[in-house]
Structure 1
Amino acid sequence: MSPGPTAPVAVGTPLLADFSLEMTAKDVPRLEEAAALIPAGTRVNVTFLGNEDLELRRSAARAVRRLGFVPVPHLSARRLGSRDELEGFLAGLREDGTAEHLLVVGGDPATPHGPFADALSVIRTGLLREHGVRHVGVSGYPEGHPAIEDTVLWSALTDKHAALAAQGLAGSVITQFGFDVDPVLTWVEQLRERGVEVPVRIGVPGPAGARRLVTYAARFGVGTSASIARKYGFSLTNLMGTAGPDRFLHALAARYDAGRHGEVKVHFYTFGGLRATSEWIAQFR
């Protein structure tokens, strides 16, 4: 018997075969707890938070490598106080053998702490390649950014990838997490129409308490509480349960077309729940 129209579509292997995870520099104990559940060689992004210093970030990237995964340190342009600070960070990663993959973001501060106003200004220094960086990820915002116009976002994204290509650096895009597949895949199509053919890692919230999901979404300007509740299947009057990305991933698998969307993978934002996310992925796959 063929499945009915509401039967879930199996999530294709390409989408989950090479997923990546997110952690903070303080999450090393959580990563160690979850390590046995995570496939060897998985990319693990290490965020660049304002309350974590350089040594803590370096130590976290070293731990990712020690556990058999690929460290992808973040670099927040607006949090850098000087060019020397940038060079010191890159030199430390190179010394540790963790510099090959890097994610460069603009960062949260409204006013830059130093000379770098955005990710593009960091890329244009030429220092990344000099310090052994070979793969550079940048951010994408399928549902927009609360403080930046769409035209500016698109221009910045295409300029960053042109700058990376000019320096012979491989590029990729990691999107902000979302709850609705349609605007995400529409955005990917628009990216391809602009001639950007690099891999895209679609941001997905890992399993988390419903209240936490709504809080994070509000912080990053992703959708509204009502739309999140509808898409994740929980009630705003009862935010004590846990929601997982099942619906999102099934919808992504159903709508994904390699011919239109190119190379697409999944990136899980764990919100500190590395073990919970890793267990969920293992069971879901």
Structure 2
Amino acid sequence: MAAAAMRDSPGATAAGAALLQGHSIEITAKDQFQLDLLQGRIPPATPIAITFLPGEDFDSRVTAARRVREAGFTPVPHISARRIHAEAELENFLEALVDTASVDRVFVVAGDLPQPTGPFEDALAVIRSGLLARYGIEQVGIAGYPEGHPAISREALDKALFDKLEALRAAGHESWIATQFGFDADPVLAWLANIRARGVDADVRIGVAGPASVKALLRFAARCGVGVSAKVMAKYGLSITQLLGSAGPGPLIDALTDGLDPRVHGDVRLHFYPFGGLEKTAEWIAARL
């Protein structure tokens, strides 16, 4: 892991500092009690996504959004369409988010359940319901999958992306795309070039994993359907024989920085998944801004 450590040092990733500007970061509702770890390490008003995990109730998600706002950041609650039991449940959630935390942006996903528990089959159904607009949500994020999805074909993913962007435009929402995390810049750059060539001009936030153990990163990668070949691991200084080591996103960010061309890839920022812990990710970001 020495190669990874060298390439992930603050000096080695200086070229990627510009890409870090305007980044966002993801937390769970339980992380609301650690927001002080972010203050002074990431800029004020940084968008903080709040995941919609099973086992966390609506009250805890709303409280997390309020605490994010009070800490000086911008709350971006997730809405998991298939985990919403009724239209009234979504309305109550949106009303509480707006009243309690002045939420004006959300991130909408289908969710990982095989079947919906209520009236919303997917993110598109939530968008087309008109509820987001009714409750004053101005910006809506949707998911992007540069490396595909283990349960959905590329054709279906592309159609869903374009359908959601069109529905958001028709409803008067600003839109952005946040991607799954990955280790390899090449499929990200190719995917970006493809959607830009097809007319997508929405901002894109590229998902990157914060510093974490290699074992943890591989576990999350397997769960998310992210490709982790031996070739890719070697490319970024990772080794499956050194699972007790740790790795950060510096090499990936450097590779993205080297390959990005605004004329081809458009407006791009980073979205951090702190698999190794919120404090480690915040410290890593602070050292490079």
Bucket of the pairwise TM-score, normalised by the shorter protein: over 0.9
CA distance in structure 1 between the aligned counterparts of 2:187 and 2:284, rounded to whole angstroms = 25
Instruction: Give the root-mean-square deviation of aligned CA atoms.
Output: 1.7
Contact 1:188/1:261, CA 8 A, preserved across alignment: yes
Output the TM-score relative to the length of structure 1: 0.94
What corresponds to 1:68 in structure 2?
A: 72
Q: Provide the C-alpha distance between the structure 1 equivalents of 2:164 and 2:54, rounded to a whole number of angstroms.
A: 24
SS at match of 1:240: coil
Q: Residue in 2 aligned with 1:280?
A: 284
- Aligned-residue offset at 1:115: 1.1
Q: 1:272 to 1:52 in 2, by over 3 A?
A: farther
- The runs of 5 or more residues in structure 1 that have no matched partner are 1-5
- Structure 2 contact 141–177 (Cα < 8 Å) conserved: yes
- Which residue of 2 is the match for residue 187 of structure 1? 191
Cα separation, 2, equivalents of 1:130 and 1:246: 41
Matches of 2:127 and 2:250, distance apart in 1: 36
State the match for 1:17 in structure 2: 21
- Alignment TM-score, normalising by the size of structure 2: 0.93
1:3 corresponds in structure 2 to: none
CA contact (8 A) 1:232 1:244 kept: no
Provide, for residues 217-237 of structure 1, a one-character-per-residue CA deviation record: whole Å limited to 9, x for no partner. 000010136345324312212
Query: 2:150 — aligned with what?
Result: 146
SS in 2 for 1:35: coil
Do the aligned residues in 1 keep the contact of 2:22 with 2:269 (CA within 8 Å)? yes
Write the mapping of 1:40-119 to structure 2, written as runs, cut at 5 A: 40-119=44-123
SS across alignment from 1:188: helix
Task: Specify the SS of the correspondent of 2:77.
Answer: strand
2:38 aligned partner = 34
Distance, in Å, in 1 between the alignment partners of 2:273 and 2:113 is 21
Larger RCO, structures 1/2 (Cα 8 Å, 6+ apart) = 2
Alpha-carbon distance between aligned partners in 2 of 1:281 and 1:240, rounded to the nearest angstrom: 23
Residues 65 and 101 in structure 2, CA contact (< 8 A), matched pair in contact too: no
CA deviations on 1:10-56 (whole Å, 9 max, x unpaired) are 43554211000000000112222232211101010000011100000
What is the letter of the counterpart of residue 61 of structure 1? A
C-alpha distance in structure 2 between counterparts of 1:192 and 1:47, whole Å: 27
Contact 2:182 2:209 in 1 (8 A): yes
Judge which range, 235-244 or 10-19, deviates more.
Answer: 10-19
How many percent of aligned residue pairs carry the same amino acid? Answer: 50
What does residue range 158-177 of structure 1 map to in structure 2 within 5 Å? 158-177=162-181
Equivalent residue for 2:207? 203
Which one of the candidate residues 217, 220, 240 is aligned to 2:221?
217
Q: Identify if the C-alpha distance between structure 1 residues 217 and 231 changes in structure 2 by more than 3 Å, giving closer, same or farther.
A: farther
SS of 1:176 mapped into structure 2: strand
Structure 1 stretches (4+) deviating beyond 6 angstroms? none
Tell me the equivalent position of 1:258. Answer: 262
Task: Classify the secondary structure of the residue corresponding to 1:136.
Answer: strand
CA distance in 2, matches of 1:227, 1:106: 32
